[in-house]
Amino acid sequence: MEGINCGMNSNSKRREDYRQARRSLNLHRNHAWAAPAAALTGNPISRICGIVAVMCVCFGLAWAAHLYFALHSAIDGENGNSATSVRIANKQPISMLILGVDQGIEGRHDRGNSDTLILATANPGKNKATMTSIPRDTLANILGDPGDRYNMFRVNSAYGVGGSKASMKTVSALLGVPIYYYVEVNMKALKSLVDAVGGVTVKVPFDFTYDWCDFHKGKQRLNGRHAVAYVRMRHDDPHGDYGRQMRQRQVIEAVVHKAISVDSIANYRNLVKIFTKYVKTNLTFNDMLALALNYRGCSDNIASGYIQGHDAWINGSSIQVASTAALQKASDHIRTNLDLDQKTLDNDETRLNKLNEQNNNIKWKDPNAFTNYQIYRSAVSSEADNNQNTSDNSYGQ
């Protein structure tokens, strides 16, 4: 019994010592976690508003995540390639070939041709972009066809020969500039794209009617159907195909501006669906995200232009032949915005021009169509030769 009593007294003493030590440390309850009951009895309306605000933030984050992954899946597809290219990640100047493909238009069911060719550049350091239209009938050596060593014909036929890759090679050699990316848009998508961004506003250069659509000089808002008619009309334009190219650039610029604006986000489902079905590109989702964040300043300073050609009849075909001066001017303009040194063009097209000037007395100021312009095969190099002669050209790098 004595042992038991001694133990109890010892335990009681230890508990009392512990309580005294705790009081001496002045320990209190953590009020941050154990709030007084009075704090929980505030205005019920305020509490409800707070809960609603939290729920809105959660729903907003969930919606943004859904948008992100939907776009990611639509653009990168099954290949799983989502990395940002080195050039875009380093915010370097880029070049991109925009191809408007006519597959499925006017009853066509083959691969089709690229009736719209626009070489665009963007330089984030200068906050400047360029858009250079290339007439679809421009004479060029069509590269990318291993079955034909010499193939001088309309530049838009390159797409029918070898798709976007052949178009990039052909235009790159024509102008002596590197082309890193391409965006291929089926023209059937234009109507849906314009409608998805809520329509676009353009400055109509003159009054005309096409495909039952009326256009009046001055600013006019276009829906998808009107936009298609606006960019397809050619024969009634006093500037012919050059006037149509100008209208194409107008609509493309307007769609780009609307697509990156806040008010088009609500229609992202339609944009994703259209993009998946009608647009092909070697840009990844992360590339596009980086472009939107780091290159968007370029969209406010776009210098538009085109390559002037001369009408010609070559072997019974109507062709546009670009003078060496016109090609050099376009090359200088593009290379300058890519931060590249200008270089004198020496390619198949310029060599043919020189031979025709010497042998056939071609005069570029002659208003009449050339009927004696000839293709000298000795002046036309193979695809392998062109690849060696354009060392600074790149494709999708």
User: pLDDT tens for residues 191-234?
Assistant: 888 888 889 999 999 999 998 899 999 999 999 999 989 988 88
pLDDT value at 66 more than 90? no
Q: Which of 105-109, 171-175, 308-312 has the lowest mean pLDDT?
A: 105-109
* Range 76-89 average pLDDT: 71
Alpha-carbon distance of 152 to 140, in angstroms, equals 5
Is the dihedral angle over the CA atoms 230, 232, 238, 239 positive or is it negative? positive
Residue 4 has pLDDT above 50, yes or no: no
CB atoms inside a 10 Å sphere around CB 35: 10
Torsion angle in degrees (nearest 10) through CA of 54, 56, 61, 64: -170
Query: In angstroms, how far is the first alpha carbon of the chain from the final one?
Result: 92
Judged by average pLDDT, the poorest of 121-125, 335-339, 386-390 is: 386-390
Higher pLDDT, 369 or 386: 369
Task: Give me the pLDDT at residue 108, please.
Answer: 44
68-95 mean pLDDT: 72
- Mean residue pLDDT across the chain: 78
According to the model, what pLDDT value does residue 378 have? 79
283 or 359: which leads in pLDDT:
359
What per-residue confidence (pLDDT) applies to 103?
Answer: 59
Q: What are phi and psi of 281, to 5 degrees?
A: -160, 160
**pTM of the predicted structure, to 2 decimals:** 0.73
Predicted pLDDT at 161: 86
The residue-averaged pLDDT of 270-291 equals: 80
Question: What pLDDT is recorded for position 6?
Answer: 45
pLDDT higher than threshold 50 for residue 16: yes
> How far is residue 163's CA from residue 99's CA, in Å, rounded to a whole number?
10
Residue 154 has pLDDT above 90, yes or no: yes
Ordered by where they begin, the domains of the chain are 83-389 (3.40.630.190)
Q: Pick from 396, 389, 352: which is nearest to 141 by CA?
A: 352
Cβ-count burial of 41 within 10 angstroms (0-12 exposed, 13-18 middle, 19+ buried)? exposed
Query: Residues 249-280: pLDDT tens digits?
Result: 888 888 877 776 645 555 666 777 777 778 88
Q: Residue 333 and residue 315: Cα distance in Å, rounded?
A: 32
Count of C-beta atoms within a 10 Å radius of residue 226? 22
List the structure tokens of 28. Answer: 């209190």
Helix axis angle, 240-259 to 189-196, nearest 10°: 40
Query: Which range, 253-257, 313-317, 349-353, is most confident?
Result: 349-353
- For residue 167, the model assigns a pLDDT of 94
Does residue 295 have a pLDDT over 60? yes
Q: Is the pLDDT of residue 147 over 60?
A: no
pLDDT at site 240: 79
- Which spans in 176-204 are helix H? 189-196
What is the average pLDDT across 39-59? 59
Minimum mean pLDDT range among 26-30, 50-54, 223-227 = 26-30
